[in-house]
Structure 1
Amino acid sequence: MSLADKVLAVNNDLPIRTDKPVHSGKVRSVYWLTEADSQRLIKEKGYNVAPDAPLAIMVISDRISAFDCIWHGEGGLNGVPGKGAALNTISNQWFKLFRENGLADSHILDIPHPFVWIVQKAKPVMVEAICRQYITGSMWRAYSKGEREFCGITLPEGLQKDQKLPELLITPSTKGILRGIPGVPEADDVNITRQNLEDNFEAFNLRSKDDIAQYEKLLKEGFNVISNELAKLDQIFVDTKFEFGYVTDAAGNEKLIYMDEVGTPDSSRIWDGAAYREGKIVENSKEGFRQWLLTNFPDPDILLNKERMPEREALARDNALPEEVMMDISRTYVGIAEKVIGVPLSLSDNPKQEIITILRDQYGLID
């Protein structure tokens, strides 16, 4: 079996019973279950959700996205071996710790396979909740050009690249294009202030002004739980993105929960602690791959400038990256996952067939 065969690159073609179109994002595909299957599983499995809650099967892939494009390797390698399993494994570990620490639940109800989550439908808060402990990346680029105000927070003079910030910063941005909010540009992923949230909380799908404080509390507590665990492994949690939403439990209580994934190499920067103390940055996240792309393509502006998206998409489509680059990303993802869970990650030779067998035999979702 070739390396390319072990990669789950296409995940929107599984024969899961659904009466809605399959939604495919950059990395995950979502299959909304029929009403009958949702209700049957809630009853059979005892999930703590409203009896009529819509459920979905979320299947991760091994695809690698960077700068809003999907990249591929030589030899038909349309993803990174082990990446999907690593992302889910890391998220599962942090969601478990959040529950054990009494923070909040997640949208995940069940994990039938390392590539698969059964999730409940949540009403998403339209905020990318970003938390930063160090100044690097886009924030450093803006700071080095003289910007001092970020999301309504003023940073002091004299900060150095990759330095620890005086305090944990929350720098939220919009999730999707939000229209008609005073002072908020109608574009995806634009920075917003706490004042924007307070003045227009309903437009961001927040239930009340009080929930702004609740989301900030869950963001900081979640960040600290992950940061403390990574510190035990001599890894530095640099920054991350959380997403939140509302669900209703079996007793009818509406609650704010964590959504999407948390603390993964896709949604966070993680640095090696020993290297940092020696003045070097060793990335244990996707950032290393982003830096490789910026260094290896002659015009980095194509990757950084949103107005050059057609050129960027052509770069990703027309360039098969060296296998060694894809395997280097694999080692990064699998390596950090194994550190987090403390045991080797078991990787499947044929994930698609395994998923089909489990969802057919144990969940009755495949005809």
Structure 2
Amino acid sequence: MNTITATNFNFPGQKKVYKGKVREVYYLNDDLLVMVATDRLSAFDVVMPKGIPYKGQILNQIATKFMAQTQDLVPNWLIATPDPNVAVGHLCEPFKVEMVIRGYLSGHAAREYNLGKRKLCGIVLPEGMKENDRFPEPIITPATKAEMGDHDEDISREDILKRGIVIEKDYLVLEDYTRKLFQRGTEIAASRGLILVDTKYEFGKTKDGKIVLIDEIHTPDSSRYFYAEGYQERQDRGEAQKQLSKEFVRQWLIANNFQGLKGQTVPEMSDDYIETISERYIELYENIMGEPFVKADVSNIQERIKANVLAYLNR
């Protein structure tokens, strides 16, 4: 299985490289970013040992297409997509907070709720909810990086402002943009027979001080989707929801005694299981984008990316 799990490019004007859990970001001159979406899979803030075929292409194409479909609402960092795995955009100073928005009691929120907690990021949650029930209104539950380590940490709006992580004027813009993007994403998902359950957005500031959407948007790594058909029936029967997201990987890891905790070992993923993950990612792409997924040539992914990016930069 040909996958791309690491890169080591040297582009003209390159100043530095940042290697995240999934993406590798090349800083060019003082104003350009070349972001490569690898096939790495991260869960519970741990990168799995094997890459997932076509995952990087899927993430990049969903994110860049959704940026095009939301740029009338919220400005974003994107300039071009010279390769299926690559996005080129403006250098921004990222805000040190992720804007998580939830329409339903799922995932992390459900796990906290089931522990008896009725407050999440300063927001009081209604009593009597079941996992995957819809909230009366979407709630914003921000996250920030813990001071020690890479784990995300829940944080309230009050603490963000009190700790000076984001000034109030900017934070109000982040909240406004988050709600607008989630509403648009919800409408697009509904038109495809899906429910956008929850997602996260990241924002940055350009050199001229404009707040823009950065990183990814509405991908299976940053979002959770349910199938709309049969949703209420499954809730009424107390059944698990049919969903399209990375949650199925998390559940498999939990079932195999791994949640990223100290002393735990990542379970072995067979090639057959890796293939099923790839197929699920392709399924999500085709459902949310409403079009067939066209597999890029993966005979030599590294050379393909290098050639396409250099051709773009030379233009």
Which structure would you say has the larger Rg?
1
- 1:275 to partner: Cα distance: 4.2
Contact preservation (8 Å) 2:5, 2:51: yes
**In structure 2, C-alpha distance between the alignment counterparts of 1:187 and 1:147, rounded to whole Å:** 24
Aligned partner (choices 285, 303, 316) of residue 259 of structure 2:
303
Distance 1:128 1:360, change over 3 A: closer
Equivalent residue runs for 1:168-247 within 5 Å: 168-175=138-145, 177=147, 188-200=151-163, 203-204=164-165, 206=166, 208-247=167-206
The answer on 1:80 being equivalent to 2:57 is: no
Deviations along 1:263-319, one digit per CA (max 9) or x if unpaired, are 110011111222423314122111111111111x2xx3x4154xx1xx33xx23xx4
TM-score (norm 1): 0.78
1:61 maps to: 38
Distance 1:320 1:147, change over 3 A: closer
**In structure 1, C-alpha distance between the alignment counterparts of 2:159 and 2:230, rounded to whole Å:** 39
Contact preservation (8 Å) 1:80, 1:327: yes
Gaps of 5+ in 1: 36-52, 73-77, 179-185
Q: Which runs of structure 1 show a deviation greater than 4 angstroms over 4 or more consecutive aligned residues?
A: none
Deviations along 1:241-269, one digit per CA (max 9) or x if unpaired, are 11111113xxxx42111111111100111
Paired AA for residue 170 in structure 2:
D
**In structure 2, C-alpha distance between the alignment counterparts of 1:231 and 1:117, rounded to whole Å:** 27
Equivalent residue runs for 1:298-337 within 5 Å: 300=257, 302-303=258-259, 305=261, 308=262, 311-312=263-264, 315-316=265-266, 319-337=267-285
Distance 1:176 1:94, change over 3 A: farther
2:237 maps to: none
Contact preservation (8 Å) 2:206, 2:212: yes
- 1:125 to partner: Cα distance: 1.0
Gaps of 5+ in 2: 235-239
Q: Which moved more, 1:150-159 or 1:218-227?
A: 150-159
The answer on 1:126 being equivalent to 2:122 is: no
**In structure 1, C-alpha distance between the alignment counterparts of 2:312 and 2:171, rounded to whole Å:** 40
Which secondary structure does the structure 1 equivalent of 2:251 belong to? helix
Contact preservation (8 Å) 1:18, 1:31: no
Which secondary structure does the structure 2 equivalent of 1:119 belong to? strand
**In structure 1, C-alpha distance between the alignment counterparts of 2:85 and 2:201, rounded to whole Å:** 20
Aligned identity (percent) is 31
1:38 maps to: none
Which secondary structure does the structure 1 equivalent of 2:26 belong to? strand
Contact preservation (8 Å) 1:126, 1:176: no
1:103 maps to: 73
1:286 maps to: 246
The answer on 1:91 being equivalent to 2:68 is: no
- 1:19 to partner: Cα distance: 4.6
Distance 1:352 1:275, change over 3 A: farther
Aligned partner (choices 126, 130, 133) of residue 163 of structure 1:
133
- 1:210 to partner: Cα distance: 2.2
Q: CA RMSD in A?
A: 2.1
**In structure 2, C-alpha distance between the alignment counterparts of 1:151 and 1:238, rounded to whole Å:** 18
Distance 1:157 1:59, change over 3 A: same
Distance 1:234 1:342, change over 3 A: closer
Equivalent residue runs for 1:13-32 within 5 Å: 13-32=8-27
**In structure 1, C-alpha distance between the alignment counterparts of 2:111 and 2:288, rounded to whole Å:** 30
Paired AA for residue 310 in structure 2:
R
